[in-house]
Amino acid sequence: MGYGTTLEVSIIGGGFARWSYRGPQVPRGVIAWAYVEGEDHPTPVKVRGTSSKPSEGRVLRMEPMPRETKLRLLKNMTRAFLWEHGYKNLRIVRTELNEQVGHVHFVYIADDRHQLDHLVRTLSKKLHLKVTFEQMGTRDHARWMGGIDVCGRELCCTLFMKEIPSVSLDMARKQFLFVAPDRLTGVCGRLMCCLRYELPVYEELHRRLPKIGAVYRDPEGVELRVVKVMHLQERVELVDPDGGAREMTLEELLQLEPVAAPAASSRREKKP
């Protein structure tokens, strides 16, 4: 571009401008800083090309914008735009820019499902780029980011899990984890995935080990009641009628004679 060339640009944030420019040629579609005469701060612009129409000012120089700066600029402007439209709990976690086709793609996470299609046209005009949104679940985000969980090991979803399962508090109860839900959450803020894939182990132990309250009779004829079951150790704690406690392995327990629970009365006794 020679002296006196009119450069036509789209201002990132809204609007158009034509400025006279003398300097190296700037490819069309490039996002750059424009240092306009009389302005204290550079203006982010997307170059549209040259124009035969009169200029409205003069550009002192055009400065290439680093890619990370472009991504940060577009992300911050989009966050402000969404905030103004009431989406205050929506968090953009990834920004993908393709300048060659003029497309920016935002990946976000939020507690609720959102449809942002009605905002795309307005935002596209503001950024002068084709805008698309994609909502990502918090579990998928943690998997994509990776990291170390509260157990001190690499995230299971990143390390070996091919699919992210659904997890419920009922699975925790079956593993005798009667604690507040926030103590069972991983870095994603959701229930830990290990509650799901460790569940079959506990279900198998449930089938093999006795329930609390089960009664057994030892070789001396003393009846012992199960008061504690240690599933992972495959051990149980029992008490005799005098309150004495004993601890046994599952193999030792199977040597004892189980005592059947008394059958419940089929009808209630009548009051005199």
Crossing angle between the packed helical segments 67-84 and 117-127, to the nearest 10 degrees:
130
Q: How far apart are CA 206 and CA 213, in angstroms?
A: 14
Q: What is the mean pLDDT of residues 180-203?
A: 84
Q: Are 31 and 46 in contact (CB under 8 A)?
A: yes
Of the ranges 116-125, 140-149, 233-242, which one carries the lowest mean pLDDT score?
A: 140-149
User: 159-190: per-residue pLDDT in tens?
Assistant: 887 777 788 888 888 887 877 878 888 888 88
Q: What is the mean pLDDT of residues 114-132?
A: 94
User: 210-228: per-residue pLDDT in tens?
Assistant: 988 999 999 999 999 999 9
User: 97-107: per-residue pLDDT in tens?
Assistant: 999 899 999 99
In this predicted structure, what is the pLDDT of residue 263?
53
pLDDT-derived band at 4 (thresholds 50, 70, 90) equals low
Look at domain 209-259 and name its CATH class. mainly beta
CATH dotted code for 68-136: 3.30.300
Residue 26 has a CB neighbour count (10 Å cut-off) of 20
Q: Where are the domains of the chain?
A: 5-65, 68-136, 140-200, 209-259
> Tokens at residue 23, please?
């300097």
HSE-up of residue 39 (Cα within 13 Å, Cβ side): 15
63-74 per-residue burial string, b: 16 or more CB within 10 A, e: under 16? eebeeeebbebb
Q: Are 44 and 33 in contact (CB under 8 A)?
A: yes
In this predicted structure, what is the pLDDT of residue 142?
81
